[in-house]
Structure 1
Amino acid sequence: MQVVDRYFEDFTAGEVRHTLGRTITEADVVLHAGQTGDFFPHHMDEHWCVHEAGLGGRIAHGTLIIAIAVGMTAGDVNPQAMSYGYDRIRFIKPVFLGDTIRVKAEVVGVADHPRRAELGRVDERVSVTNQHGETVLSLVHLYVVNKRGAHE
């Protein structure tokens, strides 16, 4: 990981980043359940998932997949940008233990901040796919980014 100063003016709509894969493990799911208190059978009970719910196996928490996917896109530290939140989060397909996810992040919006002239807004669509190329999660990650020269 390195520090990369990227100001608002350095972002262009249409820029795309891709990550390598990451396999979702038993340890990921158990740790996340312990951290959140979400021990629902969808995540913890293989027999229930297969024989009662017809899911085909245990599924990872949606919030776990969000956290891992966003973390996968955080390759460099940019002191000029700060996460502003997430919009349009959709869990499109379940992620099963053993699935490998990959992330595509595309800049879909670059605009002035509505209330602060020294900042801009950069919106990045995050699409998560499994090993079959199926989209499992989609969201828009919002950033506020310093404009060049605004803080000098």
Structure 2
Amino acid sequence: MFIEKYFEDFSVDDARTTLGRTITESDIVLHAGQTGDFYPHHMDAEWCKSQPFGQRIAHGTLTFAIAVGMTAGDINTRAMTYGYEKLRFPKPVFIGDTLHVAIRISEKKDHPRKAAYGLVTEQLDVLNQQGDCVLATQHVLLVEKRGAQP
């Protein structure tokens, strides 16, 4: 669905949570093929048994890509992604983990050079089924101001 949500329509501390998504072995294999990242941490179950986590872990980039996709919903014709900041992976993601994303507006500010736009920062925390944070990042949106001429 298309919506029009201007800079003025965002409020700090507004929050939402996505539905869950379970990480599968197929996700990991497909991601390895797409990226060329065949490190044993993701692909070699026997080798991983001798490592600290004891099992294969999902690529951080896979976790990030899935999380971003999970946050996509309505298409806001007045905003676009400006970038991501402070990407962290505090805990591993394993095959069979079910993830959801908690999103909270953490900041709003004027764009330093484009008066017709503001920057809205969403804090994204990706949580597993135990509620542990497995990824944290800040999604910065470039959002048109109401009545402004871009």
TM-score band (shorter)? over 0.9
Q: How does 1:39-118 map to 2 (within 5 A)?
A: 39-50=38-49, 52-118=50-116
Q: TM-score, normalising length from structure 1?
A: 0.96
Q: What TM-score comes out, normalization by structure 2 length?
A: 0.97
Offset, 1:69: 0.5
Alpha-carbon distance in 2 for matches of 1:16, 1:75:
14
Which region of structure 1 is more displaced relative to structure 2, 14-23 or 54-63? 54-63
Deviation at 1:151, TM superposition (A): 3.3
Q: Which amino acid aligns with 1:41?
A: P
Structure 2 equivalent of residue 26 of structure 1: 25
2:120 pairs with one of 118, 122, 131: 122
Give the match's secondary structure for 1:106: strand
1:102 and 1:20 mapped to 2: Cα distance?
A: 6
Provide the C-alpha distance between the structure 1 equivalents of 2:77 and 2:90, rounded to a whole number of angstroms.
Answer: 32
Aligned pair 1:133/2:99, yes or no?
no
- Secondary structure of 1:20's aligned partner: coil
Amino acid at match of 1:24: I
Shift in Å at residue 54 of structure 1? Answer: 3.1
For this pair of structures, how many residues does the alignment match? 150
Shift of the alpha carbon at 1:70? 1.1
Match of 1:4 in 2: 3
Moved >2 Å (runs of 4+): none
Amino acid in the other structure paired with 1:4: I
